[in-house]
Amino acid sequence: MTTLTVKPKNKKELSKAKKMLKVLEISFEDNDDKPYNPAFVKKILRSKKEYQEGKGTTITIEELNNLWK
């Protein structure tokens, strides 16, 4: 089925939207609390910093394609 994204402007609109979906018996997930795992974000930011400091490794498209063979 299709996913519908609702973007309330404030907590009052969010509350009303949830109530409306419940009344209409439409299932929904409230997943805006933590979009990403904080430990994962920390790793990504550390890796980005290390790359900017020249500690990263760069590979060509050919090298990348050879990994899949």
Structure confidence by residue, pLDDT tens digits, 20-54: 999 999 998 887 666 788 899 999 999 999 999 99
- State the Cα–Cα distance between residues 60 and 21, nearest whole angstrom: 49
Q: List the domain range (segments joined by +) for residue 62.
A: 11-67
Q: Is residue 37 part of a domain?
A: yes
Instruction: Tell me if 17 sits within 8 A of 6, measured CB to CB.
Output: yes
Report the predicted TM-score, pTM, of the whole model to 2 decimal places: 0.45
Asked whether residue 52 is domain-assigned, the answer is yes
Q: Which of 25, 21, 34, 28 is nearest to 2 (CA)?
A: 28
Rounded Cα distance, 69 and 66, in Å: 5
Overall domain count for the chain:
1
* Among the listed residues 30, 34, 11, the one whose alpha carbon sits nearest the alpha carbon of residue 22: 30
Report helix, strand or coil for 23.
helix
> So what's the pLDDT on residue 15?
94
Question: Is residue 4 scored above 70 in pLDDT?
Answer: yes
Q: Give me the pLDDT at residue 34, please.
A: 67
Task: Indicate whether 41 belongs to any domain.
Answer: yes
